[in-house]
Amino acid sequence: MSSASPLPTQHPALLPEQIPQSAFAHMIITVASVLLDWDLRIRTRRALTRLTDAELNDIGLTRDDADTEARRPFWQG
């Protein structure tokens, strides 16, 4: 008489930082993250230039503050 095989053990889901990665995969993820950060800075700084003085005042900025931020290079945080 054969015995029934045991049920498979349930493993908890792995968090992204727990998934083993090669050095190449890690590099690609890091580069993609940096590029996404740069893109967000570009779009945010452009958006600041389109706000009215009243809208800038609502978020605690002056036109001069917005212009100064918009002129910063995208690689500067």
Residue for token pair 């931020």: 69
Residues 6-23: tens digit of each pLDDT: 444 555 565 666 666 688
Does residue 5 lie in a domain region?
Answer: no
In a domain, 28, yes or no: yes
Asked if residue 5 has pLDDT above 60, the reply is: no
What CA–CA distance (Å, rounded) separates 44 from 73? 12
| Number of structural domains the chain divides into | 1
Taking 60 as the threshold, does the pLDDT of residue 41 lie above it?
yes
Among residues 5, 25, 4, 6, the alpha carbon closest in space to that of 16 is found at: 25
> Does residue 10 lie in a domain region?
no
What would the mean pLDDT of 29-40 be, rounded to a whole number?
93
CA–CA gap between residue 73 and residue 5 (Å, rounded): 62
Whether residue 76 is contained in a domain is answered as no
Write down the pTM of the prediction.
0.65
Instruction: Tell me if 69 sits within 8 A of 45, measured CB to CB.
Output: yes
Between CA 17 and CA 24 the distance in angstroms is 15
Tens of pLDDT along 55-76? 999 999 999 999 999 999 999 9
